Amino acid sequence: MPKQADPHYAMPEHKAWSAAVFERAGGRCQAPGCTKAWPEHRMFADHIAERSDGGADFDPANGQLLCGAHHSTKTARARAVRAGRG
């Protein structure tokens, strides 16, 4: 089946949270040592403590801006830990 986006991401509260995380980071990836920034690179407002692990949905303190590579790496690592492989 095709991937379907979680309806959470279409909520106005999530969009406001995402915009706040993006603005606070100035459009730059917050991973240590990374120099990628918007608009040259796609950026993601990421929950530091993932929602599925009990992280706060809309708390800006639970947000960081990551480039695509760092977002993918962090998400894969969190999924592996959840599955007992990390």
What the block records as the tokens of 76 is 């894969």
Cα separation values, 82 from 21, 52, 57, 76, 86, Å: 25, 9, 18, 10, 8
Other CB atoms within 10 Å distance of the CB of residue 45: 22
Q: What is the amino acid identity at position 36? A: K
Q: What residue segments make up the domains of the chain, in order of their start?
A: 29-86
Q: What percent of the chain has pLDDT over 70?
A: 99
Q: What percent of the chain has pLDDT over 90?
A: 78
Residue 71 CA to residue 67 CA, distance in Å, equals 6
pLDDT 10s digits, 35-69: 999 999 999 999 999 998 889 999 999 999 999 99
